[in-house]
Structures are given as structure tokens and as C-alpha cells.
Amino acid sequence: MIYADNAATTKMSDKAIETMVSLMKENYGNPSSLYEFGQKSKEVLEEARAKVANAIGANPKEIYFTSGGSESDNQAINSAAKAGALAGKKHIISSAFEHHAVLHTLNKLKKEGFEITLLDVHENGLIDPKEVEDAIREDTCLVTIMFANNEIGTIEPIREIGEVCKKHGIPFHTDAVQAIGHIPVNVVDDNIDMLSASAHKFHGPKGVGFLYVRKGVRLFNLIEGGAQEKGKRAGTENVPGIAAMAVALEDAVANLDTYGKAVTAKRNRLIEGISEISHSALNGDAVKRLPGNVNFCFEGIEGESILLLLDDKGIAASSGSACTSGSLDPSHVLLAIGRVHDVAHGSLRLTIDERTTDEEVETIITSVKEVVEYLRGFSPVWRDLISGKREFIL
Amino acid sequence: MALYSEKVMDHFRNPRNVGVIEDANGIGEVGNAKCGDIMKMYLKIEDDIIKDVKFETFGCGSAIASSSMATELIKGKPVADAMKLTNEAVAEALDGLPDYKMHCSVLAEEAIKNALDDYHKRCEEQQ
């Protein structure tokens, strides 16, 4: 199998697996227990916290372990909203193409009386920091903008947006699930107050993540219970998972340079090869995008069919087609960058990593070309397009 | 468990009766690109028998499989029988479809009914 869906999840690193298994076997103590065996787990936990903090330029006291990106997003946003409401501020700024963990949380807050401004992400999938500043009001209590988009891989001007927020004294949260371990992230340099991350996106285990909260930013609980995580996140810590996440992140960050260069070169070759298909278009900025992300729209065909046929050829990929989600609407991300429904249904996301070989890249290009040509061969939409009955959009 | 039954995958991978009938005497098209599904059916009817049927589909795996199965179910049958084709029959012949994909079988039924309506209309015009 050629795995080209690393934005969905990644293969765990051997080191992360070994760390996890050895802790599960030999160190099952509860870090909250006072005896030596429990305290050993506490040490493991704090070592992991230091590693995670170091990887993003934070202080270990600013790291809270969670179950993953969605929980971190929920806690950060709900917490900032609560703090805002207490100060009479009920306006939140975000973008139209955030992950659903952010958008659905904002929708819930909207029903509770918050006003939400969703900024335009423009045709290239990039948010303009000037527009963030223009949207700021007296009653703005939070700006939440993703570091990099999960579907089209565009990298947002986080440092500049953070600077704007800093200037106006507004808490800034970023969903960095796709960015952490793939591109450099430093919470101090990038002016970030809160950051969400998920271990399984950088070769760590599923069900583990963290939330960074800058010292001085108020944090409310999402989960009530015991005093774990300084009382901010109840529940016995997933020590093996957390330790595995920390080693995975440590390795990913140590290799960022080589990873970035190698994967970007392969990604560019993929883009170049797939661009040869007529009436296709790359989604999102060609340069300001994650090293491993390729996302295309093909006119005249539908995404799920592309995925099923690629699967038959041994390639695992993803699509923003409505049919892959069970809803009637195609990806909100593709609609947000201005792709019309007809075209957004025919999208394909390939997300490669350092394991993807040059040979695999060429196989993917050839396979995508074959599949697109085959499906267009019996598409009534394609027939209408080439016979001039319908106008090409791409 | 796989997303689709083996039958669905078989008809998706090797769709039967794909293409166009140049001298079709009944053509039906349903769906729209906005929703992500379009089916076009071509019928060649002689002596009230569906001598040939072909389809073109823009859509997901189950849309393509539903079109293919629907053509198989009516090929060689009297027009009166084809008129009775239901989406349930299409889905059943495919060993079932996931709930949220049942609309694909509905589209297949509608595309065939649409093509038959076109055929009847053409007959009336000739008389």
C-alpha cells in the first residue's frame, strides 16, 4: 500500500511504540499515587511535559495533556469564551475554513449569544492579518485561527496575526494540529496564547494531545473531577500515550529541516505531475503550504470514485467530496476558497511524508492520471464540457 | 468491514452497459452536478422491448454501481416491466447500500423512468 493520507493520521514511530509498550508493561502506576511506583509514573509524565514544552518554545507549566486536538480546541475556545463573558465580551473572530472542532464549538457559542466573525480565506486559502485587525471590536474576547489547514495545507501568517492580537490585548488561540511536527512552531516568537496539538499527526499515538496555555491566560475546565493537570483537566493521565507523544514530537522537531526539504521536493513533483491533467487545479497557495500536502480539484468527476479506484491500485488518499462525509455538501474548506459545488465534489487530497519514496510519487501521478481519465470517459458532465454544452470552470 | 458490498464494488469496478446509444429513442437525465450526482440513461426500444440500454454517470461509487445494476435489471425486458423498476429492487440486487447512499438507487430508478417518459413522448409525437 502507498499511504498518502498522513493528514488523517500517521504511522507511529518505532520509538513511540517502544516507549508506549514498555511503560504499559512495566510502569502502570498511577502518577497521582504517593508511593514510589506511582511517583515513577509522575516522573515520566513530567519528563514528557518538558519535552513537549521544549519542542514549541514553551514552559512545561504551560502544557496541559488532553485526549487530542478536538478536546484541546474545545477547551481553549470555551474557556476564552467564558472568560470573555465574565468581562462582558462576547465576540469571537475565526476563519471560514477552520476544523469542525473549532467551527462546531463556535456554532454552539453562537446559540448561547456570542457573535462570531468568520474571516474570508481568499482564493489561495490565506487569511490577511489586516482583516483580523479590522474585525477586532471592543467586545472581542478571542481570535482563533488555524496554523495550517487540514485539507489544503495552507500555512497562515500566524506570527503576524498573533502580533495584531498582542497589540490589542486579545487572547489568540491556534489549532496547530497539522503544523506541529511538520513546520517550525514557537509559541513565543509566533505570539501564541493558546495552541492545540494532536499526537497522531506526528507519528505519536491516537487519543493523546496537548493544549498550550500561556502563563497568565485564564483557563477553565472542560472535564471536572480530580486534580490532574493542575486541576484543569481531570482524569488519570494516559502516561504511556503521553510519553510516546513526547518522544515522537522530539524526533519530529529535531528533523524538521531535513523533513521539510525532502518532503517539499516530493510534494512539488506530485503537484507538477498531477497538474498535467487538463482542467484540474491545485487548491490552496502553491508555496505557503505544508511540506506534504497536495490537494486538487478535477472537473467532470466525483471524489469518492477517485478514492475507490486509487484504493484498488493500492493508494490510500482522501477527498473533500460530499459522498465521503455522508452529507450533501462538499468540503466547507473548498467552498471557502471559492470552489463551486460542481468542482468541489471532484477533489483529491494526497498527504505524503518522509517515508514516501520517489517511486511511489511517480506511481501516484500515473494512477491519478489513469483514474481521472477513466472516470471522465463515462461522465455525462465531462461529455457536456468537451462538447461545449457546459462551460469549463477550471 | 468494507464500505460497500462485493456486488456494489463489482459493478463499480466493472460497470455494465457503459456508454452512449447514438440512435437511442429514449434518453433520461437526472441529478445535478451541484449535488455531486448526474445519471444519464440511453434506451433503444423496439417492439416494446428494451433491446439496448447504456448509461453515463458522474458520481460516487454507489451511483455508478446503481446505474450499472439498473441497466442490467431492465435490459431485454418489456417496457411495462421496466416501468415497475423500484429503487429498492436496485439496492437489493446490489446486496444493499449504506443508508446515506440509498438516494443513489433512487436516482437510478428516476433516470430510467425519465428515459421511458422520453420514449413515450417521442411515440406520441410520431402518431
Nearest to A142 by CA among A91, A68, A108, A97: A91
For residue A243, what pLDDT is reported?
Answer: 98
Q: Report the pLDDT value the prediction gives residue B13, as an integer from 0 to 100.
A: 96
Please name the member of B19, B60, B101 whose beta carbon is closest to the beta carbon of A305: B60
CB A272 within 8 A of CB A138: no
Q: Identify which has the larger pLDDT, A325 or A118.
A: A118
Provide the greatest CA pair distance for chain A: 78
List the single best residue of A297, A298, A304, A384 to mutate versus B (max B Cβ within 10 A).
A304
pLDDT value for A321: 75
- A290-331 confidence digits (pLDDT tens): 999 999 999 999 999 999 999 999 999 999 876 666 666 889
pLDDT over 70, % of chain B: 99
CB contacts of B29 in chain A (<8 Å) are: 380
Question: CA A49 to CA A339: how far, in whole Å?
Answer: 42
Of the candidates B43, B70, B104, B108, the residue annotated as catalytic is B104
pLDDT on residue B63: 96
Measure the CA–CA gap between B85 and B90, rounded to whole angstroms. Answer: 8
| Per-residue model confidence as pLDDT tens digits over A190-238 | 999 999 999 999 999 999 999 999 999 999 999 999 999 999 999 999 9
Write out pLDDT tens, residues B85-109.
999 999 999 999 999 899 999 999 9
pLDDT band at B126 (very low <50, low <70, confident <90, very high): confident
The span from the CA of A36 to the CA of A23, in Å, is 15
Q: Considering B3, B20, B35, B123, which one is annotated as catalytic?
A: B35
Domain covering B6-120, topology = Sufe protein. Chain: A (3.90.1010)
In this complex, the residue of A345, A378, A383 whose CB is nearest that of residue B36 is A345
Assembly ipTM: 0.95
Is there a contact between A383 and B56 if contact means CB atoms under 8 Å apart? yes
Interface test with A, best of B29, B41, B58 (most A CBs within 10 A): B58
Q: Cβ of A302 under 8 Å from any chain B Cβ?
A: yes
Collapse the DSSP code of A153 into the 3-class scheme (helix H, G, I; strand E, B; otherwise coil) and give the result: coil
Alpha carbon distance A245, A259 (integer Å): 18
Q: Look at residue B1 and tell me whether its pLDDT is greater than 80.
A: no
Q: Does B8 score more than 80 pLDDT?
A: yes
Contacting residues for A114 by C-beta, under 8 A, at least 6 apart: A81, A84, A85, A90, A91, A92, A106
- Cα B63 vs. chain centroid, distance in angstroms? 9
Residue A140 has pLDDT above 90, yes or no: yes
pLDDT at A7: 96
Distance CA B121, CA B114 (A): 11
Q: Which long-range contacts (CB under 8 A, 24 or more apart) does A103-109 make?
A: A103/A332, A105/A73, A105/A74, A105/A77, A105/A78, A106/A77, A106/A144, A109/A77, A109/A78, A109/A81
* Set of chain B residues whose Cβ sits within 8 Å of the Cβ of A347: none
Please tell me the distance in Å from A243's CA to the nearest CA on chain B: 32
Is the model's pLDDT at B5 over the cut of 70? yes
Q: Which residues of B touch A374 (CB under 8 A)?
A: none
Q: Taking the model in full, what pTM does it have?
A: 0.95
C-alpha distances out from residue A106 to A38, A74, A112, A283, Å: 39, 9, 10, 25
- Per-residue model confidence (pLDDT) at position A279: 98
Q: Using the beta-carbon criterion (under 8 Å), do A308 and B12 form an inter-chain contact?
A: yes
CA distance A191 to B90: 58
User: Which residues does B contribute to its contact with A (CB < 8 Å)?
Assistant: 9, 12-13, 15, 18-20, 29, 33-40, 55-64, 100-101
- The pLDDT > 90 percentage for chain A reads 97
Does the structure show a pLDDT above 70 at B24?
Answer: yes
| pLDDT number for residue B36 | 86
Measure A345 CA to nearest chain B CA, in Å: 6
pLDDT, residue A157, reads 98
Query: Side by side, which strands form the sheet with B26-32?
Result: B26-32, B37-46, B49-58
List CB contacts (< 8 A) between B58 and chain A: 300-302, 379-382
Span A5-64, pLDDT tens digits = 999 999 999 999 999 999 999 999 999 999 999 999 999 999 999 999 999 999 999 999
Spatial distance between the Cα atoms of A169 and A286, rounded to a whole number of angstroms: 33
pLDDT of residue B32: 86
Q: For residue B34, which of A108, A328, A314 has the smallest C-alpha distance?
A: A328
DSSP H/E element including A82: helix A69-86
Q: Which residue of B has its CA nearest to A308?
A: B61
CA B8, CA B12: separation in Å to the nearest integer? Answer: 6
3-state secondary structure A14-61: HHHHHHHHHHHHHCCCCCCCCCHHHHHHHHHHHHHHHHHHHHHCCCHH
Whether residue A296 contacts residue A4, with contact meaning beta carbons closer than 8 Å, is answered with: no
Indicate the residue of B19, B36, B55 with minimum beta-carbon distance to A323.
B36
Note the pLDDT tens digit of each residue in A59-83. 999 999 999 999 999 999 999 999 9
Residues of chain B positioned with their CB less than 8 A from the CB of A312: 13
Tell me whether residues B59 and A323 touch, CB distance under 8 A.
yes
Name the nearest CA neighbour of A324 among B73, B109, B61, B80: B61
* Residue A179 in grid coordinates: 503544523
Please give the pLDDT value at position B52.
Answer: 98
Q: Give the per-residue SS3 of A170-218.
A: CCEEEECCCCCCCCCCCCCCCCCCEEEEEHHHCCCCCCCEEEEECCCCC
Q: What is the pLDDT of residues A227-272, one digit of tens each?
A: 999 999 999 999 999 999 999 999 999 999 999 999 999 999 999 9
Q: Which of A379, A383, A393, A394 to mutate to test the interface with B (most CBs of B within 10 A)?
A: A379
Cβ within 8 Å, pair B57-A378: yes
Which chain A residues are within 8 Å of B40, Cβ to Cβ? Answer: 380
Say yes or no for a CB contact (<8 Å) between B38 and A381. yes
What are the cell numbers at A9? Answer: 493520521
Question: Taking 90 as the threshold, does the pLDDT of residue B35 lie above it?
Answer: no
Residue A323 annotated in active site: yes
Residues from chain A contacting residue B12 (CB–CB below 8 Å): 305, 308
Q: How far is A380 from chain B (nearest CA, A)?
A: 5
Question: How many C-beta neighbours within 10 Å does residue A332 have?
Answer: 18
